[in-house]
Amino acid sequence: MSVLVIAEHDNQKLSTSTLSTITAATILASDVTLLIAGYDCSSVCESASRIAGVKKIITSDIGCFKVPLAEDLVALTQLIANDYTHILAPASTFGKNVIPRLAALLDVAAITDVILIENDNTFKRPIYAGNAIATVQSQDRVKVMTIRPTAFESAPTQDSPAPIQTLGYTSQNTLSEFIAIETHQSERPELTSAKIIISGGRGLQNAEQFKIIERLADRLHAAVGASRAAVDAGFVPNDYQVGQTGKVVAPDLYIAIGISGAIQHLAGIKDSKIIVAINKDPDAPIFEVADYGLVADFFAILPEFENVLTQLGY
Amino acid sequence: MKVLVAIKRVIDYHTKIRVKADGSGVETRNVKMAMNPFDEIALEAAIRLKEAGQASEVIVVSCGTSECQETLRAGLAMGADRAILIETSEELQPLAVAKLLNAVVNKESPQLVFLGKQAIDDDANQTGQMLAGLLNWAQGTFASNIIINNDKIEVEREVDGGLEKVSLKLPAIVTADLRLNEPRFPSLPNIMKAKQKPLEVISASSLNIDIKPRLTVLKIESPPIRKQGVKVNTINELFNKLHVTEKVL
């Protein structure tokens, strides 16, 4: 077995989802290679070389990979794909964009959102928004898959660095061009790796009142999430969305405020350790999955909520 | 400019699915079926291009059993001009669908192919990217906005970090995310008109394409059930549980 992990990073450091993907890779083989395509990304390579389980780093440090397009990244990966039995990427929008295109060009299946590795060809993945779990077996010569980051721990660091090898690549991509990215800078923890998440839904009523959620999150050192309804209503940007089509999260504590709990939202939070729901509708489906439910008008209990936070030292 | 839209027949979005006790799959007998919601968004995008004079014809394509004709008729009622069914009773996985669509694209030569970003049954999120790879076309996945500019399409993509803009040379593949548009409901006259629109059925076996499943599904099971939760009456009681009992705060 030899496993290639396609790294997601921002040219500064690896994403936490990549660290989880490396852990999944080490379950398959002791021989894990990390492909780091980026621009001016030597610091990523250096820190990544000290991730436990990584035996080799292959890097392409070229302008076209500053923000990698699938067309280029797949062409690059194809150069070395035949050396591996498994090719993995995180099940983020990055990995989901790249992995199926690669699989089709290798004429193999892609396996999305793997949550459990049974053996080198058998994997579990959620379907129907997590309402069923499929166990699938692949006979393809190379297994190409995305790994759900919340299902695997982050890989630890090691003392002796792995060697770094350069892979040459000349872009022949005339198909696509990166124009811009609009990101929402925040000091808060990332949703996909946060210990505490506080999420708001349509019950918050408007963008102004949603800011209360953000204020509470800052006191709790929590990440801020939202339901699709809150995003559609324009309370918060799209990258806050948690659910089947947004981000899948697994914090120790998930606090849902004013979220009714559509199955698409529940699909994204089921792996949270403790789910708390505050909603004034006693019949809201969110209460069916909540470990602790409080039927109340959030705005009415807010002063009390903040008092308790103060008492607890937040 | 011809636009092709791939649509999939899935269990209706509002239906609570039931996993079969023998682990062989999800119950689909006597269950309401509908067009995959993301494909509806993809189709709406194509119809809007036609209404704006940027597309000349909208073709809906589905792959599967003859029952998919019903889904294609729904697409025609929304406003597609004609429909193609690649008919097979075999189990179809994303790579097979991408290969079948590849054959249709080669025959029809559209400038743009829209798909939903994922189907809500298998949640694979693969077919569009696979088709782009097979065709060696550019791909704009998770689209939340599109602008056509001569021989290019600018796609705004919903990525984990925010919104990314890319420019793709046509022909290209675009997969629709939730906020691309809100699909229309077909009017009764359009539902009637759809019955007269052309629907071509092509047998998958006549295309000589290997559509055998690459993955063997060994088992479909229900997810672990979360333990029954409790209702608390006050904020103090809630935080006491979180702080003292659960130690998460």
Specify which residues A111 forms β-bridges with: A145
Structure tokens at A300: 């009415």
CATH numeric code, A191-311: 3.40.50.1220
Q: How far is CA A58 from the centre of its chain?
A: 23
Burial class from Cβ neighbours inside 10 Å (0-12, 13-18, 19+) for residue A251 reads buried
The stretches in chain A having pLDDT less than 50 are none
Residues of chain B positioned with their CB less than 8 A from the CB of A142? none
DSSP assignment of A33-72, as one string?
A: EEEEEESS-HHHHHHHTTBTTEEEEEEEE-GGGSS--HHH
CA distance B96 to chain A (A): 9
Size of interface A-B (CB pairs under 8 A): 252
Closest by alpha carbon to B4, among B97, B102, B94? B102
Given an 8 Å threshold on Cβ–Cβ distance, is A127 in contact with B157?
Answer: no
According to CATH, the superfamily of the domain at B2-245 is: HUPs (3.40.50.620)
Burial class from Cβ neighbours inside 10 Å (0-12, 13-18, 19+) for residue B148 reads middle
Distance (Å, rounded) from C-alpha A20 to C-alpha A90? 8
Specify which residues B168 forms β-bridges with: A176, B153
pLDDT-wise least confident of A175-189, B114-128, B184-198 = A175-189
By the 8 A CB rule, do B81 and B58 touch? yes
Residue A10's closest chain B neighbor by CA?
B161
- Give the percent of chain B with pLDDT over 90: 97
A300 CB within 8 Å of a chain B CB: no
Residue B92's closest chain A neighbor by CA?
A109
Provide the pLDDT for residue A184: 80
CA distance B236 to chain A (A): 7
- Give the percent of chain B with pLDDT over 70: 100
Quick check: ipTM above 0.95? yes
Provide the pLDDT for residue A217: 97
Structure tokens at B234: 């006050």
What single-letter amino acid sits at B81? D
What single-letter amino acid sits at B70? E
Q: Check pLDDT > 90 for residue B134.
A: yes
Where along chain A do its domains lie?
3-166, 191-311
Q: Check pLDDT > 90 for residue B193.
A: yes
Would you tell me which residues 92-111 of chain A have a C-beta closer than 8 angstroms to some C-beta of chain B? Answer: 92-94, 96-105, 107-111
A3-166 has which fold?
Rossmann fold (3.40.50)
pLDDT band at B161 (very low <50, low <70, confident <90, very high): confident
Given an 8 Å threshold on Cβ–Cβ distance, is B229 in contact with A293?
Answer: yes
A231 CB within 8 Å of a chain B CB: yes
Q: Which of B168, B214, B246 comes nearest A109 by C-beta?
A: B214
Distance (Å, rounded) from C-alpha B115 to C-alpha A149? 26
Given an 8 Å threshold on Cβ–Cβ distance, is B19 in contact with A132?
Answer: yes
pLDDT-wise least confident of A199-203, A257-261, B19-23, B159-163 = B159-163
Provide the pLDDT for residue A309: 96
Pairing type for strands B152-159 and A164-166 reads unpaired
- Token pair 């067309």 is found at A71
A273 CB within 8 Å of a chain B CB: yes
Given an 8 Å threshold on Cβ–Cβ distance, is B249 in contact with A276?
Answer: no
Distance (Å, rounded) from C-alpha A158 to C-alpha A200? 39
Provide the pLDDT for residue A181: 94
Q: A9, A71, A147, A190: best mutation site toward chain B, by most B Cβ within 10 Å?
A: A71
What single-letter amino acid sits at A2? S
Burial code (b: 16+ CB inside 10 Å, e: under 16) for A192-227 equals bbbebbbbbbbbbbeeebbebbbebbeebebbbbbb
Structure tokens at B150: 């001569």
Structure tokens at A128: 């129907």
Longest dimension (CA), chain A: 61
Distance (Å, rounded) from C-alpha B15 to C-alpha B32? 7
Omega within 30 of 0 (cis) for the link into B213: no
- In angstroms and rounded to an integer, the radius of gyration of the C-alpha atoms of chain B is 21
Closest by alpha carbon to A196, among A259, A303, A268, A272? A272
Q: How far apart are the first and last CA of chain B?
A: 58
By the 8 A CB rule, do A214 and A240 touch? no
Given an 8 Å threshold on Cβ–Cβ distance, is B234 in contact with A294?
Answer: yes
Provide the pLDDT for residue A144: 98
A272 CB within 8 Å of a chain B CB: no
Average pLDDT over residues B210-218: 97
Given an 8 Å threshold on Cβ–Cβ distance, is A245 in contact with B117?
Answer: yes
Given an 8 Å threshold on Cβ–Cβ distance, is A238 in contact with B162?
Answer: yes
Closest by alpha carbon to A144, among B134, B211, B215, B122? B215
Element (H, E) at B5: strand B2-6
Given an 8 Å threshold on Cβ–Cβ distance, is B229 in contact with A287?
Answer: yes
Provide the pLDDT for residue A229: 96
Given an 8 Å threshold on Cβ–Cβ distance, is B221 in contact with A252?
Answer: no
Q: Which of B26, B161, B226 comes nearest A183 by C-beta?
A: B161
Degrees, nearest 5: CA angle B187-B190-B194: 140
Distance (Å, rounded) from C-alpha A36 to C-alpha A5? 9
- Measured in degrees and rounded to the nearest 5, phi and psi for residue B233 equal -105, -25
Residue B121's closest chain A neighbor by CA?
A128
A230 CB within 8 Å of a chain B CB: no
Provide the pLDDT for residue B167: 98
Provide the pLDDT for residue A186: 83
Helices (H) and strands (E) in chain A, counts: 9, 16
Residues of chain B positioned with their CB less than 8 A from the CB of A305? 235
Residue B36's closest chain A neighbor by CA?
A128
Q: How far is CA B239 from the centre of its chain?
A: 42
What is the per-residue pLDDT across B57-103, written as a single tens digit (0 to 9) for each?
Answer: 999 999 999 999 999 999 999 999 999 999 999 999 999 999 999 99
* Count of other CB atoms within 10 angstroms of residue B94: 26
Q: What residues have CB less than 8 Å from A21, skipping those under 6 apart?
A: A5, A88, A89, A90, A95, A147, A149, A152
Provide the pLDDT for residue B29: 92
Distance (Å, rounded) from C-alpha A53 to C-alpha A161? 10
Provide the pLDDT for residue A176: 98
Degrees, nearest 5: CA angle B159-B160-B162: 65
Residue A246's closest chain B neighbor by CA?
B160
Distance (Å, rounded) from C-alpha A287 to C-alpha A66? 44
* Count of other CB atoms within 10 angstroms of residue A121: 17
- Measured in degrees and rounded to the nearest 5, phi and psi for residue B224 equal -60, 140
Q: How far is CA A232 from the centre of its chain?
A: 21
Closest by alpha carbon to A142, among A220, A83, A227? A83
Where along chain B do its domains lie?
2-245
CA distance B189 to chain A (A): 30
Distance (Å, rounded) from C-alpha A291 to C-alpha B18? 23
Which long-range contacts does A307-312 make (Cβ < 8 Å, 24+ apart)? A308/B235, A308/B236, A308/B239, A309/A216, A309/A219, A309/A220, A312/B239, A312/B243, A312/B249
Residues of chain A positioned with their CB less than 8 A from the CB of B232? 292-294
Residues of chain B positioned with their CB less than 8 A from the CB of A99? 126, 129
